[in-house]
Structure 1
Amino acid sequence: MTSTPDILVVGEALVDVVRRADGSVDEKPGGSPANVAITLGRLGRAPRLLTHLGDDERGRGVRAWLEASGVAVEGAVASRTSTAAAALDATGAASYEFAIDWSVDTTDAGEPDALHVGSIATVLAPGADAVSALVDRLRARALVTFDPNIRPSLVDDADDVRRRVASLIARADVVKASDEDAAWLHPGEPIDVVARRWTAAGAVLVVITAGSDGALAARGDRVTRVPSPRVDVVDTVGAGDTFMGALVDGLIAAGAAGTSAREAIAALSEPELTAILRRSADAAAVTVSRPGADPPTRAELDG
């Protein structure tokens, strides 16, 4: 691992068109992998985001948003910038409709110390196959993290999505998912059972978040639980992505990058892992306390 780890995030960057319960509408940059990259950028990690943005007004706005937080944007230019329409209910919870195209050329992805993939980019053709191949190429050389972030409104073939997700869980070092993801993938199973199932499949660390009920992490048969900080929720957009970015940051700070990533994660003490999880939950709490996907800076998070 280099002294300044090279972190590559691969996935969609798009525009969130947010329709709030009071009838107001606004547009903000987003996309789950882009939000993870922004979180890492604001935490001082200078990540690269390999994505597919249009050279249009929306795309230029997304690019400027990413670069303002220290994210280097890479990838071929798309014919248009994708959108996600998020409708917020009175509690701030979001439901989505997507207009997205996903294609990516990973030829010049390099040899990063950490690779994060997730969400639409891992299941939507044609780009999903390129993402899977990149995971195969880098899995023995880098920390590989994965967040399935299932979007049911985009799923045409549930069996194919479940197959793709299961394949990535088996090849990733770290999997972070929501309780909603777990319920969609394994209906009726408790999240601790799902977490253990995924560690048995291949991931060395599985974290499942459950909103106000906190999060749990599994390494083998060991389960660690942390509560969620109490916070007034404005909206939940980007909360899971913020948790993911902070989790990657914390693991890298603990030495989990490059070829020794799995061993470093397995060697974490329970207090060390708990501290990383609590900090990730704190980061997500900041995001839900303000509108849009607006992760904290390192100064905001660590004081």
Structure 2
Amino acid sequence: MHDRLDPLVIGECVADIVRLPGEANRVHPGGSPANVAYGLSRLGHDTTLLTQLGPDGHGRLIRDHLAAAGVEVRTDGATGPTPSAAVTLDGHGHAAYAFEIRWSLEPVVLERAPGHVHTGSIAAVVEPGAATVLAAVESLRSGATVSYDPNVRPELMGERSGAVARVERCVALSDVVKASDEDLRWLYPDEEPQRVAERWLAAGPALVLVTGGAAGAFALSSGGRAAVEALPVTVADTVGAGDAFMSGALHALAAHRLLGPGARDRLRAVDRDAVTDVLRHAAASAAVTVSRAGAAPPGADELRQALARN
């Protein structure tokens, strides 16, 4: 099987400043799209990240982190401060965020057309940069498959109805969409996640993935509904769990030859067994990540080992 994805990820980098009672602050490289790019590169894909990074300490930390995994970082040359988020963890390792972020991405000329494009989170909804992101996705999708994760941050989404409209536009442009049950409950507080996933599937994507933390995850596709349980794990923190799920899912989809140029028809005809395998890989990737501090997704060997144990 062709399992190299060589993707382009478009979106923000964020310095996560983790605050724990009685301890010094810890700074972890983060930002949902950057985490996905890092995870894909760790899994062996030649990943390019189009983003903004400032010429400051946080920017250098994130650049070094991404380079260590082999991510090629492209920026628009902006010189503002690197976005940051204060992350407060509760007694169960669950994270709450307070953001200091500007997102003003300008168009960048790419030397080669990607086979797959991933975007989401702040980058797809915060203006003026969101307009650049959407224009890039629209221009690239004729030759590439597209994935999207809304990764809802209520503090930055603005008024709900406008946020829903922006999210639904991204969903309609995508082949694969992943969201958490918490994302869906903020966007659609009066609907069950299953019902939202059904509507999203009808709006354009071939595959909709929904995560539920310890409750596991499910997916909807033309092959029906598939589901997996969460893997048993001792949680260090949940930072980056959804992003590791996303990179694990894309990695498995690539292994099944369901992403990339010419793969859209195969993805639309995907069977439930293949989707279940994708969910298994994604859940294992998330489980490895939550077992250690920060957004630290697995490499390919770690992912295989996690799957073998479960």
TM-score, reference length from structure 1? 0.95
Deviation of 1:3 (Å): 8.3
How much has 1:58 moved relative to structure 2? Answer: 1.2
| Structure 1 residue aligned with 2:32 | 32
1:13 touches 1:31 (CA, 8 Å); kept in 2?
Answer: yes
User: 1:90 maps to what in 2?
Assistant: 91
Structural mapping, 1:74-85, within 5 Å: 74-77=74-77, 78-85=79-86
The corresponding residue for 2:281 is: 279
Give the aligned partner of residue 67 of structure 1.
67
Q: Does 1:268 align with 2:267?
A: no
Answer yes or no: is the 8 Å Cα contact 2:223–2:272 preserved in 1.
no
Distance 2:191 2:23 in 1: 37
- My pick for the range that moved more, 166-175 or 132-141, is 132-141
Q: Deviations over 1:188-234 (max 9, x none)?
A: 32211111110011111000000000001001481111111011111
* 2:234 counterpart SS class: coil
For residue 243 of structure 2, the aligned residue among 234, 241, 244 is 241
Question: Shift of the alpha carbon at 1:106?
Answer: 3.2
Residue type at the aligned position of 1:147: D
Quote how far apart the aligned CAs of 1:185 are: 1.2
* 1:138 and 2:156 are equivalent in the alignment: no
**What secondary structure sits across from 2:248 in the alignment?**
helix
Once the two structures are TM-superposed, the CA of residue 261 in structure 1 deviates from its matched residue by 2.8
Structure 1: runs of 5+ lacking an equivalent: none
Question: How far apart, in 1, do the equivalents of 2:196 and 2:284 lie?
Answer: 24
Partner residue in 1 for 2:168: 166
Shift of residue 20, structure 1, vs aligned partner = 2.1
Q: Distance in 1 between matches of 2:73 and 2:249?
A: 21
Identify the range of structure 1 (200-209 vs 2-11) with the bigger mean alpha-carbon deviation.
2-11
Match 2:188 to one of 186, 189, 193: 186
1:56 to partner: Cα distance: 1.2
For each residue in 1:29-63, what CA deviation from the matched residue of structure 2 results, as whole angstroms up to 9, or x when unmatched?
11000000010010010200000001111101100
Percent identity reads 45
How far apart are 1:4 and its partner, in Å?
Answer: 4.7
Within the candidate set 144, 151, 154, 2:153 is matched to 151
- Per the TM alignment, residue 267 of structure 1 is displaced from its structure 2 partner at its CA by 2.8
Going from structure 1 to structure 2, the CA distance change for 1:4 and 1:294 (only over 3 Å counts) comes to: closer
Contact 1:200 1:220 in 2 (8 A): no
Given that residues 41 and 69 in structure 2 are in contact (C-alpha distance below 8 angstroms), is that contact kept between their aligned partners in structure 1?
Answer: yes
SS at match of 2:15: strand
Inter-CA distance 97–165: structure 2 relative to 1 (3 Å threshold): same
**CA-CA distance at 1:94 after TM superposition:** 0.6
The 2-side partners of 1:28 and 1:288 are apart by 14
Q: Deviations over 1:89-142 (max 9, x none)?
A: 001111111101112233313410000000000000111001111111122211
Q: Is the 8 A contact 2:89 2:96 kept in 1?
A: yes
| Cα contact 1:54–1:79 (8 A) shared by 2 | yes
CA RMSD of aligned residues (A): 1.6
Cα distance between partner residues in 2 of 1:162 and 1:240: 20
Partner of 1:8: 8
Equivalent residues of 1:196, 1:221 under 8 A apart: no
Distance 2:218 2:241 in 1: 16
Taking the aligned partners of 1:68 and 1:221, their CA distance within structure 2 comes to 38
Deviations 1:139-195 (A, max 9, x none): 221110000001011133322211110101111000000000110111132211111
Structure 1: which amino acid aligns with 2:178?
A: K
Q: Are the aligned partners of 1:204 and 1:219 in contact in 2 as well (CA < 8 Å)?
A: yes
Distance in 1, matches of 2:52 and 2:142, equals 26
Could you say which residue in structure 1 is the equivalent of 2:19?
19
Q: Aligned match of 1:224 in 226, 231, 235?
A: 226
